[in-house]
Amino acid sequence: MTRKYFGTDGIRGRVGTHPITADWILRLGRAAGVVLAGKEKRAVVIGKDTRISGYMFESALEAGLAASGANVLLLGPMPTPAVAYLTRTLYACAGVVISASHNAYEDNGIKFFSADGEKLPDDVELAIEEEIDRPFVTVDSVAMGKAARVDDAAGRYIEFCKGTMPFGTLLSGIRIALDCAHGATYKVAPAVLRELGAKVKVIGNKPNGTNINDGFGSTQPAAMQRHVIKTGSDVGIALDGDGDRVVMADADGSLVDGDEMLFIIASTRHAEGLFHGGVVGTVMTNFGLEVALENLGIPFLRTDVGDRHIHRALVQKGWVLGGETSGHMLALDRASTGDGLVSALIVLELMARSGKSLAELRRGMEKFPQTMINVPVSAGGKEKLGDCENIAQALRDTESKLAGKGRVILRPSGTEPVIRVTLEGADPQRVQDLAERLAETVRTELGG
């Protein structure tokens, strides 16, 4: 079945535009209560980021869940991975996050976690969608759910984050430039790092409801990079608005993205004899990571874009480490879902234990130049991509010219009427030329 509302990471859109409206979120709350809570009286946990519309949607979800008979535990502003953790430790039947992640404040969305603190399976999301379209029925008053606020939610999560570090590992003396994107980590992230002994200089920690991700955070890391230089820090950390992504910078402000962080973790653990299994990336992971891991004898597997695909592959393989270039990383030996702060702590742990700088730890991986061209296509063009022989031949020709020293990806956008033409290779000019030729073929065959 085709999902009507759920995308690769929950439900997301512009506030006030269907389905991100108060009345529809009310219906979603009731439907989620019916499917996830059933007749149990285990609570549903609700957390949110710092965008202003979170107040409205928190109330709507609470009302809908109560109408279904589900109890509610309100966490207030809390990172997405904290909601996953607290769902497990509070023995809730499900967790809900009100967030549009790295998007601007005009957007919002809803993400769900199972009782195990993991993303919902497809069949459960489909069941919620089916329930939304049924008549809104409120249970008898005697069976209605109740709501309570968890006053120590932040403290619980802070202790969890510190507990992911090996006992006795401290960050004493490490100077950190931290950017919280005016988002959900603005209180907990500085507290965790300081309690572990780091010297922390923070920006992006003054949310006002409308400044989340605005010029700050992992998707706009320039502010963090400047902050590293200004403060003379050893390392920079930029989290996104809901705290599930992270990118870093070394002491000279050079960006270290998710691919490079995966290499640092895998290669350092491998050198210490502590790494088992392989690494999972996506079709968009830089070819340089694949080459660097191959040189170390570490298996590497690609999946479709999205952390749910990475998680599924890790579980199937029995591996623990994977992620995306954006910094959405999974370390299943530390957390059940992507956690930007925990991912940063792993890298900081390796710095503290080895005595090496971030620049030293990243040596051994060279990123391949990458070119991506978005080609607008006509209605139905995305669906015709796999059936066009001329494009298939152009793709084969391009791959032949790369001769195993690069790669090419043709991928329809999930949100726009475009085909993304992406090439990677050692020679940036050759990569650009080949990408433009392939894009022109796509434009000729499928363009509007």
Q: Which residues are catalytic?
A: 101
DSSP state of 119: B
Q: How many helices (H) and strands (E) does the chain have?
A: 15, 18
Distances (CA, A) of 225 to 238, 252, 302: 9, 8, 29
In 3-state terms the chain splits into helix, strand, coil percentages (rounded to 5) of 40, 20, 40
Q: Which of 365, 399, 361, 360 is nearest to 294 (CA)?
A: 365
Pairing of strands 370-376, 329-331: unpaired
Which residues fall within 8 angstroms of residue 88, CB to CB, at 6 or more apart? Answer: 115, 116, 117, 336
Distance in angstroms between the alpha carbons of the first and the last residue of the chain: 29
Tokens for 19, please give them.
């389905």
Residue type, 138: T
Alpha-carbon span 116 to 136, nearest angstrom: 28
Q: Which of 27, 30, 25, 62 is nearest to 46 (CA)?
A: 62
Distances (CA, A) of 280 to 99, 197, 293, 410, 423: 26, 32, 11, 20, 20
Strands, E assignment, 210-362? 235-239, 246-249, 255-256, 279-282, 300-303, 321-323, 329-331
Would you call the peptide bond into 376 cis, given omega within 30 degrees of 0 as the criterion?
no
3-state secondary structure of 180: coil
Q: Report yes or no: 174 and 234 within 8 Å, Cβ to Cβ.
A: yes
